[in-house]
Structure 1
Amino acid sequence: MSQDKELKKAIALQYDQEKNQAPVVTAKGQGYIAEEILNRAKAADVPIQEDKSLVEMLAQLNINDRIPEELYQAVAEVFAYIYQIDLEQKKIIKK
């Protein structure tokens, strides 16, 4: 039996302006590992952004690699999305 369903992939990034010049890959995986990364992110209330093409590009990196300069714009958009979600959640909590 062939598998038509593509394995799910996930990449976790972290950015600390004081420690790193660029975001760093902190976890990556596919299938069960990807599901576990997503489950842990959800459990920790870490926002998740789905972008299949970005995941494919980031999957070429190793854990602890900084993202390359050519991906700065795409990753900046993800972090802007996450920042916006954080702001919205803080507004809800303050109400």
Structure 2
Amino acid sequence: MSKHNKPRQAIALNYDGQQAPTLSAKGDDELAEAILAIAREYEVPIYENAELVRLLARLELGDSIPEELYRCIAEIIAFAWHLKGKCPAGFNSGPPDSPLDS
């Protein structure tokens, strides 16, 4: 019996910072491995969550993620940006100004 009962799946999302992320790639087994290899090659952070992949794999390529998943995906994107040292325009990652500093 194989140690992998279910096929390995992977999805890729495209996020332009303006619109909801869209599904840009999806695949099982060899295609999933190819998606992951490309992500590694371009140093795209990889987040592993089989349940989330199963949900998003139901979408067609180019579809926006469902509104119900906005918060979940936003947290993943924020973490990926943090790993790369990026932050949204206008975002101040430092401590808030203290009124005592004036």
Q: Report the counterpart of residue 27 of structure 2 in structure 1.
A: 29
Q: Report the counterpart of residue 41 of structure 1 in structure 2.
A: 39
CA-based RMSD of the aligned residues comes to 1.5
Scaled by the length of structure 2, the TM-score of the pair is 0.77
Scaled by the length of structure 1, the TM-score of the pair is 0.82
Q: Report the counterpart of residue 67 of structure 1 in structure 2.
A: 65
**1:11 touches 1:59 (CA, 8 Å); kept in 2?**
yes
Return 5+ residue gaps in structure 2 as ranges.
87-102
**1:8 touches 1:34 (CA, 8 Å); kept in 2?**
yes
Choose which of 83, 86, 102 in structure 2 pairs with 1:85: 83
Give the number of the structure whose alpha-carbon radius of gyration is greater.
Answer: 2
**Percent of residue pairs identical:** 42
- Amino acid corresponding to residue 12 of structure 2 in structure 1: A
Residue 17 (structure 1) shift: 2.7
Return 5+ residue gaps in structure 1 as ranges.
89-95
How many equivalent residue pairs? 85
Q: Answer 1 or 2: which has greater helix percent.
A: 1
* Runs of 4 or more consecutive aligned structure 1 residues displaced over 4 Å after TM superposition: none
Q: Report the counterpart of residue 17 of structure 1 in structure 2.
A: 17
Residue 3 (structure 1) shift: 4.2
